[in-house]
Amino acid sequence: MMLLEHHAKELLAAAGVAVPHGVLVTAADDGETALTLPPPFMAKAQVPVGGRGKAGGILKVKTATDSAPLIAKILGMTIRNHPVRSCRLEALVDYVAEAYFSLAFDANEGSIKILVAAEGGVEIESEEMRAKLLRASAVPDPVATTAALETLIPALPVALQWPIRELGSRLIPLFFEKEALLIEINPLFITRNGWVAGDAKVLTDDNALPRQAEMRGLIERFPDLYPEAALKLAQGFDFVQLDPQGDIGLVTTGAGLSMQLVDEIVQRGHRPFNFCDIRTGGFKGDPSRLIQVLKWVASGPNVRSVLMNFFAGSTNLAELVPLILQALEAVPELRQPITLRMTGNGLDAARKILEGSGNPIHVETDLERAIDRALAAAGSAAHG
Amino acid sequence: MVEPFIKADVPVLVQGATGRSGRSQTAQMVAYGTNIVAGVSRRDDPEAKLPLFRTCTEAVKATGARASVAFVPPLDVLPAILEAIDAGIELIVTVAEGMPVHDALKARAATREAGMRWVGASTPGLAIPGSLKMGFLPNVSLAPGSLGVMSKSGTLSYEVCYRLVERGFGQTLWVGVGGDAVKGVRFADLVPVFAADPATQGIVVVGEIGGNEEEELAAALLASGCTKPVFALLAGRSALEGVTMGHAGALIQENVGTIETKTTALRAAGAEVSQTIKDLVEAVTATLGHTL
């Protein structure tokens, strides 16, 4: 999970990393929070993707009169398909230089990668920046990582050596304790008498949540800001709303096949409302997951057709279909036509159960035909 | 033969053999014909049909097991791998979903140092159709044939192989490498296996957004001089940046791991990259149909 900048900075601050003073505001805020920070300050959209500045999501608030309208403007934005649900207000930093520092892993080498540069603030992906990066790698433990960082220090300008060493001494233990996948400080501001993290990107491991109580706590406190992670944590499956205006609702299992279905529907000019990996293996005879997903799909204002896809490799369709019928009964507001594609274990028995139920749900065994039918049921391709 | 990677009759032990899923999956692997010789568990199981041992080392000593498939919970995967290394196991398949990445980093380092092949972190496993199944690739999607298959996603590869089997194309070896960011066997590691196997006439790659495994695969294909046709399907074109789409590895960030970088790299290496399952099936049929 990509932490929002505000939470990343709180995590860093608790580990002894200097960050500018800042507060978080959401749409639900009554405006009192903003008053705790006297202008001028920066208002920064909190989204889990880069490019906020270019998208207009970082604004300078110069006067108290500007404050409310500028914050409202940011909270009304959508940046790279992410609705801005919160905004960090942050004190300005008076700096003399910028630098770059990151810790990540190399999936191929199985190592920890350290990147440092005597410049910051710009896109790390640029060719120009890549050439200036100092790199070191280490086996995945804090001692080796600290030693690897030391090898880079002499190559840095003298004014950066102490700040980078200090920053490293705080970030390296944090990286391992919190099981981070990425910690990036860009820019690291060098001030007249110290250093401060200007921006912070922290990617944590959802798989480590069972043993990372603090991360679990964060998600539980801010379920609205981390809706996908909150759902996964509470209910053990994935549901991502892709397009609030989408015309096709998806009730599907398997991450890869579900992603591919989304792709193929988009290619055919339709707009999937959601991505979903419902994980039939976790049902254990209980329809509640299906009910939840059907409710969400039914809530899509433009959803005109629902496609369910179940390839029963190890599950049994004869056990699944009764749960689908129970779920449909529990969500009467779902009136859109449903195409159920199923194939695999227990198909014949599952068909008999459906026929006996009298439910008019349309069954296909072939995925192509099921997609064709679900899209035809939605009418002409959605535009806009 | 794909023997340098896995032998069809390799003696296999099952770690976590007495758990709910371990027990039922073991029965199915045995039914498929896999040479399962032992189970390993801390618990007794009066209903066990296999010789049960407390540790991998004891199981290996008593039965000569050379490979392992582990049905243990995600936080127990790393200890299971370390135990298998100590016992001298040569190849391990781990199926649990949700192994922490920091554990996977340690496991990758340890398995490489020991020279053990690790298929995981989380994967439906591997199969030599008709002979061996380690994990739970579905029988409906398996048939002996001429395709070497490597896949990140379980479900998408089930669908792809199911449809290829319907058209008459089975597999020599199918390895699900899994959708994790940090894993053991990667796509590129399988290039020499499929390139050297005379029965493998084409390679099917089921990839997805995130990471750089497809790009690495492209480089390995070019370096190997492998002239076998390669057919790739890449999922996640429409994924939302910054959000995990089901698979931990399928998180795109900025310009790394996008469909564009992967497609460009694979095409430059001579692979045919399809956008739909149907197109991939057609591409395989058009290129290899005469071999049926």
Given this model, what pLDDT does residue A383 score? 47
Region A264-283: mean pLDDT is 93
Confidence of residue A216 (pLDDT cuts 50, 70, 90): very high
> In angstroms, how far is the first alpha carbon of chain B from the final one?
19
Of B138, B151, B246, which is closest to A258 when you measure between CB atoms? B246
- Domain A21-91, CATH homologous superfamily name and number: ATP-grasp fold, A domain (3.30.1490.20)
Given this model, what pLDDT does residue B291 score? 82
Given this model, what pLDDT does residue A191 score? 95
Subunit contact B100:A205, Cβ cutoff 8 A: yes
List strand residue ranges (DSSP E) for chain B, in order.
12-15, 36-40, 52-53, 67-70, 91-94, 117-119, 125-128, 132-135, 144-151, 171-176, 202-208, 230-235, 272-274
Chain B residue closest in CA terms to A257:
B156
Q: Which ranges in chain A are annotated with CATH 3.30.1490.20? A: 21-91
Q: Per-residue pLDDT for A382 more than 80?
A: no
Tens digit of pLDDT for each residue in A81-111?
Answer: 889 999 999 999 999 999 999 999 988 888 9
Q: Which residues of A touch B186 (CB under 8 A)?
A: 108
Q: Choose between A338 and A50: higher pLDDT.
A: A338
Nearest chain B Cα distance for residue A112, angstroms: 9
Of B98, B102, B238, which is closest to A262 when you measure between CB atoms? B238
**CB contact residues (below 8 A), chain A span 130-189, against chain B:** 139-140, 176, 179, 181
Q: Which ranges in chain A are annotated with CATH 3.30.470.20? A: 97-204
Give me the CATH code for the A97-204 domain, please: 3.30.470.20
Region A291-307: mean pLDDT is 96
Q: Which residues of B touch A370 (CB under 8 A)?
A: none
Which of B149, B150, B152, B159 should one mutate to test binding to chain A, selecting the residue with the greatest count of A CBs within 10 A? Answer: B159
Nearest chain A Cα distance for residue B248, angstroms: 8
Between CA A328 and CA A333 the distance in angstroms is 9
Subunit contact B246:A238, Cβ cutoff 8 A: yes
Domains, in order of start, for chain B:
12-119 (3.40.50.720), 137-291 (3.40.50.261)
What pairs with residue B132 in β-bridges? B128
Instruction: State the SS3 of chain A.
Output: CECCHHHHHHHHHHCCCCCCCEEEEECCCCCHHHHCCCCCEEEEECCCCCCCCCCCCEEEECCHHHHHHHHHHHHCCEECCEECCEEEEEECCCCCEEEEEEEEEECCCCEEEEEEECCCCCCCCCHHHHHHCEEEEECCCHHHHHHHHHHHHHHCCHHHHHHHHHHHHHHHHHHHHCCEEEEEEEEEEEECCEEEECCEEEEECHHHHHHCHHHHHHHHHCCCCCHHHHHHHHHCCEEEECCCCCCEEEEECCHHHHHHHHHHHHHCCCCECEEEECCHHHCCCCCHHHHHHHHHHHHCCCCCEEEEEEEECCCCHHHHHHHHHHHHHHCCCCCCCEEEEEEECCHHHHHHHHHHHCCCCEEECCHHHHHHHHHHHCCCCCCC
Given this model, what pLDDT does residue A134 score? 94
Place of tokens 């179940």: A310
Of B162, B183, B275, which is closest to A267 when you measure between CB atoms? B275
Subunit contact A179:B243, Cβ cutoff 8 A: no
Tens digit of pLDDT for each residue in A116-132?
Answer: 999 887 666 677 777 88
Chain B residue closest in CA terms to A111:
B105
Q: Per-residue pLDDT for B242 more than 90?
A: no
CB A49 within 8 A of CB A82: yes
Given this model, what pLDDT does residue A144 score? 97
Tens digit of pLDDT for each residue in B73-108?
Answer: 999 999 999 999 999 999 999 999 999 999 999 999
Which amino acid belongs to residue A46?
Q
Dihedral sign from CA coordinates of B17, B20, B21, B25: positive
Of A1, A107, A343, which is closest to B244 when you measure between CB atoms? A1
Given this model, what pLDDT does residue A127 score? 74
Backbone angles phi, psi at A55, to 5 degrees: -80, 0
Given this model, what pLDDT does residue A249 score? 97
Structure tokens at B16: 């976590």
Which amino acid belongs to residue A53?
G
Of B102, B153, B233, which is closest to A140 when you measure between CB atoms? B102
Confidence of residue A384 (pLDDT cuts 50, 70, 90): very low
Nearest chain A Cα distance for residue B194, angstroms: 20
Subunit contact B154:A313, Cβ cutoff 8 A: yes
Backbone angles phi, psi at B179, to 5 degrees: -100, 20
Q: Count A/B contacts: CB-CB distance under 8 Å.
A: 188
A262 CB near a chain B CB, below 8 Å? Answer: yes
Subunit contact A367:B216, Cβ cutoff 8 A: no
Nearest to A224 by CA among A85, A334, A39: A85
Subunit contact B162:A211, Cβ cutoff 8 A: no
Tens digit of pLDDT for each residue in B46-68?
Answer: 888 899 999 999 999 999 999 99
Region B20-39: mean pLDDT is 95
CB A121 within 8 A of CB A54: no
Between CA A283 and CA B246 the distance in angstroms is 17
Q: Which ranges in chain A are annotated with CATH 3.40.50.261? A: 236-377
A29 CB near a chain B CB, below 8 Å? Answer: no
Q: Which residues of A touch B209 (CB under 8 A)?
A: 259
Nearest to B50 by CA among B35, B66, B70, B61: B35
Nearest to B13 by CA among B70, B72, B81, B95: B70
Between CA B70 and CA B184 the distance in angstroms is 14
Nearest to A371 by CA among A245, A248, A244: A248
Subunit contact A110:B109, Cβ cutoff 8 A: yes
Which of B81, B94, B102, B281 should one mutate to test binding to chain A, selecting the residue with the greatest count of A CBs within 10 A? Answer: B102
Of A81, A112, A125, which is closest to B240 when you measure between CB atoms? A81
Place of tokens 């750089």: B212
Region A198-225: mean pLDDT is 95
Tens digit of pLDDT for each residue in A9-39?
Answer: 999 999 999 999 999 999 888 778 777 888 9
Strand-pair category, A86-91 with A22-26: antiparallel
Q: Which helix (H) or strand (E) holds B159?
A: helix B154-166
Contacts of B162 (CB under 8 A, 6+ apart): A311, A343, B138, B140, B141
3.40.50.261, 3.40.50.300, 3.90.470.20, 2.40.50.140: CATH of A236-377: 3.40.50.261
Nearest to A89 by CA among A12, A199, A6, A30: A6
Given this model, what pLDDT does residue B246 score? 56
Between CA A107 and CA A16 the distance in angstroms is 28
CB B125 within 8 A of CB B149: no
Q: Tell me which of B7, B117, B183, B247 is the catalytic residue.
A: B247
Chain A residue closest in CA terms to B180:
A107
Q: Which residues of B touch A253 (CB under 8 A)?
A: 155
- Three-state secondary-structure class, residue B215: helix
Between CA B221 and CA B192 the distance in angstroms is 9
pLDDT more than 70, % of chain B: 95
Mean pLDDT of chain A: 92
Q: Per-residue pLDDT for B249 more than 70?
A: no
Note if B290 is an active site residue. no
Q: Which residues of B touch A80 (CB under 8 A)?
A: 241-242
Chain A residue closest in CA terms to B99:
A207
Nearest to A80 by CA among A185, A2, A186, A28: A2
Q: Which residues of A touch B94 (CB under 8 A)?
A: none
What pairs with residue A241 in β-bridges? A274
Tens digit of pLDDT for each residue in B138-171?
Answer: 999 999 999 999 999 999 999 999 999 999 999 9
The 8-class DSSP code of residue B65 comes to -
Q: Which residues of A touch B244 (CB under 8 A)?
A: 1, 206, 228-229, 232, 238
Subunit contact B101:A208, Cβ cutoff 8 A: yes
Contacts of A93 (CB under 8 A, 6+ apart): A20, A189, A191, A196, A198
Subunit contact A263:B275, Cβ cutoff 8 A: yes
Q: Choose between B80 and A53: higher pLDDT.
A: B80
